[in-house]
Amino acid sequence: MPLAPTIQQTIDTWLTPDYDAQTQLAIREMVANGHEEALTDAFYRTLEFGTGGLRGVMGPGSNRMNRYTLGMATQGLCNYLIQSFPGQEIKVAIAHDSRNNSAEFAQIAAGIFSANGIIVYLFDALRPTPELSFTIRELGCQSGCVITASHNPKEYNGYKVYWNDGAQVVAPHDKNIIAEVTKITSVGDVKFDADRSKIISIGRDLDARYFARAEQLSIDPAAIKRQHDLKIVYTPIHGSGITLVPGLLEAFGFTNVSIVDAQATPDGNFPTVQSPNPEEQSAMQLALDQAQAQDADIVLATDPDADRVGVGVKNDKGEWVLLNGNQTAALLTYYLLSARHRAGQATSRDFIVYTIVTSEILGDIARGHNVKSYQTLTGFKYIAGLIRDLEGKETYIGGGEESYGFLIGDFVRDKDAVSACALVAEMAAVAKDQGRTLYQEMVQMYAQYGLYVEDLISLTKKGQRGAEEIQEMMAELRANPPATIAGLKVVEIRDYKTGRIHDLRTGLATDTGLESSNVLQFITEDGSKISARPSGTEPKIKFYFSVKQPLKSAVDFDLATGLAQEKIQAIIADMKLQ
């Protein structure tokens, strides 16, 4: 099957002397071996900024992560920065994680920034994403980037771009940067020749500054002092968390932290896991086994760039179980608001934030403490944007999303698993100080606010056809929305793409109050929430399920959980998603 003319034209461009010999050789081998599908996937489009920036499989091609796609994105960013800050000395900060080629990509990006006359603060070794966000504001930078593909498999790498508020770029900056990138007609337009005089190495000094701010997040240091020997097992899953998490736990006062040795060394091949994702049981198994052997109190984990936190706890049967992102976010919100109240730190200006696909219990907890809550679109950049908009007017306490991201305090403007690890440990210490486990604390929370149970299905649709299938699925849901789901009447449809909420009981339509995003939500008569959302960073469409089950007392937790899970399975079966 012949390649599409546009794809062939792009391939021909990549076979010119503007591209290095190794890249050309790899492309010629694919052509010679008749790998049309691979060539189509590598060249049918140019990598675009999504909710997490630039991200893709590493290799040659316009739809791959390599020095040229990175270079064009960086040059486009340089051009936009120069336009946006005329006459100013422009500064950027750069960090990278443990992935293969991350250090090299960081050097390439630094070289391009410097060649454009921009001052570069380049970390001397791998560092977590939240420290990069902190550094941008701490050093007064206009922008910054971190080379990472977060929790994706080893074949991936990426490029998260940040603005001067320390948050990932949002509209209009994201689209404007892409517009500048598309103006670059060849890699010859990219200034690869570095000006080393403009590249400044940074490291331990910024670590110390980050620690100084993070230590202030502790609410109950007295409980930690009494429970300093809380048995903690931590794994960085071969990532950058090893540079900060153990040190911050020590700074908080914890003296009994056991690291999973087999996963302690940064390694972009992630040799002990299929995917370095703390959401997955397989990635956490070594830590859980170590916790079982050591009779630990808690398991903590971070993904390669340490912006997602994984938590393992022991249930009342003595079994180690993993908390999902909703449970961790709910527990942290529950602890922050109750502990601040007990410590006399709560104010009438306090607020928390969570995304539209995150458990509604976060809003219930906030209302229970007379604290304002806000909802945003999916993506932590929207939470950061709200923090920025309310700065000086209201006080941000914490915020999270179901995908294992949480941020305490506002000195970082992206999800921060480093500080989250420390606060989860403090939360466990406070619970133990009161004679409870963290698991029992969670059950008590649900008994107070009602049991929410969530699940998620991700359908992977790779390549050009996969992207089309995802759009077709969303179009079908909009054209023919379900009247009932698992026997439950759909009473409300929230279409965040059109920005309209349709109440099917009254026929009235209202605005979402949020910017456009390709997300659909169906609310049933019993309050269940089903969300459909194409991923902004991966070739997936995600379906989120949330149901609320009455829970009269903690002793009914297992029974109520089982009933809620049965309801979710009925919804999934009715929607034919498995």
Longest CA pairwise span in the chain (Å) = 71
The pLDDT value recorded for residue 52 is: 58
Residue 358 Cα distances to 58, 316, 378, 396, angstroms = 31, 26, 9, 18
Q: Is residue 57 part of a domain?
A: yes
- 3-class SS of residue 344: coil
Residues 443 and 456 in one domain: no
Residues 443 and 514 in one domain: no
- 3-class SS of residue 271: coil
**pTM of the predicted model as reported, rounded to 2 decimal places:** 0.94
| Structural domain ending residue among the three candidates 449, 482, 513 | 449
450 vs 64: CA distance, rounded Å:
45
The pLDDT value recorded for residue 185 is: 77
Residues 295 and 225 in one domain: yes
146 vs 304: CA distance, rounded Å:
12
Residue 212 Cα distances to 215, 341, 402, 433, angstroms = 6, 23, 28, 26
Q: Which residue has the tokens 């963290």?
A: 438
Q: Which residue has the tokens 């793409």?
A: 497
CATH number at residue 192: 3.40.120.10
Domain that holds residue 540: 452-574
260 vs 294: CA distance, rounded Å:
12
Phi-psi region of 306 (alpha: psi -120 to 50; beta: other; left: phi over 0): left
Q: How many C-beta atoms surround the C-beta of residue 203 within 10 A?
A: 13
Q: Is residue 540 part of a domain?
A: yes
Q: Is residue 183 part of a domain?
A: yes
- The H-or-E segment that residue 520 falls in is strand 520-524
Phi-psi region of 102 (alpha: psi -120 to 50; beta: other; left: phi over 0): alpha
Distance of alpha carbon 465 from its chain centroid, rounded? 26
Task: Say if strands 500-503 and 509-511 run parallel, antiparallel, or are unpaired.
Answer: antiparallel
Residues 102 and 165 in one domain: yes
Q: Which residue has the tokens 């490291």?
A: 203
The whole-number mean pLDDT for each consecutive block of 10 residues of the chain, a chain of 578 residues, reads 87 93 95 92 82 83 95 94 97 98 98 98 98 98 96 93 95 85 87 98 98 98 98 98 98 98 98 95 97 98 98 96 98 98 97 97 97 95 96 98 97 98 98 98 96 93 83 94 95 97 96 94 94 82 94 93 96 90
Q: Is residue 95 part of a domain?
A: yes
Residue type for position 138: E
Phi and psi at residue 119, to the nearest 5°: -75, 135
**Interior angle at CA 385, CA 383 and CA 386, nearest 5:** 65
Residues 6+ apart with CB under 8 A from 121: 91, 92, 93, 94, 135, 139, 141, 200, 202
Residues 245 and 259 in one domain: yes
37 vs 138: CA distance, rounded Å:
46
Residue 388 Cα distances to 84, 143, 209, 351, angstroms = 19, 15, 21, 13
Task: Say if strands 451-460 and 540-549 run parallel, antiparallel, or are unpaired.
Answer: antiparallel
139 exposure class (CB count in 10 Å sphere: 0-12, 13-18, 19+): middle
Q: Is residue 411 part of a domain?
A: yes
Residues 286 and 433 in one domain: yes
DSSP conformation class of 551? -
The pLDDT value recorded for residue 179 is: 85
Q: Is residue 160 part of a domain?
A: yes
Residues 177 and 298 in one domain: no
Confirm if 316 and 333 have CB atoms less than 8 A apart. Answer: no
Confirm if 145 and 92 have CB atoms less than 8 A apart. Answer: yes
In 3-state terms the chain splits into helix, strand, coil percentages (rounded to 5) of: 40, 20, 35
User: Hey, which residues does 531 pair with through a beta bridge?
Assistant: 521, 544
Residues 483 and 402 in one domain: no
Phi-psi region of 272 (alpha: psi -120 to 50; beta: other; left: phi over 0): alpha
Q: Is residue 37 part of a domain?
A: no
Helices (H), ranges, 35-142: 36-43, 67-84, 102-115, 129-138
| Polymer length in residues for the chain | 578
Confirm if 194 and 114 have CB atoms less than 8 A apart. Answer: yes
Residues 412 and 511 in one domain: no
| Structural domain ending residue among the three candidates 202, 227, 244 | 202
Residues 459 and 371 in one domain: no
The pLDDT value recorded for residue 190 is: 96
| Structural domain ending residue among the three candidates 151, 170, 202 | 202
The pLDDT value recorded for residue 1 is: 62
CATH number at residue 495: 3.30.310
- The H-or-E segment that residue 312 falls in is strand 309-314
Tokens found for residue 268: 């972009």
Q: Is residue 247 part of a domain?
A: yes
> With the C-alpha atoms ordered 433, 437, 440, 445, is the resulting torsion angle positive or negative?
positive
**Number of independent structural domains in the chain:** 3
- The H-or-E segment that residue 373 falls in is strand 372-376
Tokens found for residue 505: 């009981």
Residues 6+ apart with CB under 8 A from 14: 23, 24, 27, 43, 60, 61, 62, 68
Tokens found for residue 12: 């021909």
Residue 49 Cα distances to 52, 85, 176, 470, angstroms = 7, 21, 11, 18
Residue 541 Cα distances to 61, 75, 533, 577, angstroms = 24, 31, 6, 11
Dihedral angle computed from the Cα positions of residues 106, 275, 160 and 203, in that order, rounded to the nearest 10 degrees: -50
Q: Which residue has the tokens 């304002």?
A: 372
Phi and psi at residue 505, to the nearest 5°: -80, -35
Residues 193 and 102 in one domain: yes
Instruction: Just list the catalytic residues.
Output: 150
449 vs 511: CA distance, rounded Å:
28
The pLDDT value recorded for residue 367 is: 98
CA atoms within 13 A on the CB side of 434: 13
Residues 480 and 432 in one domain: no
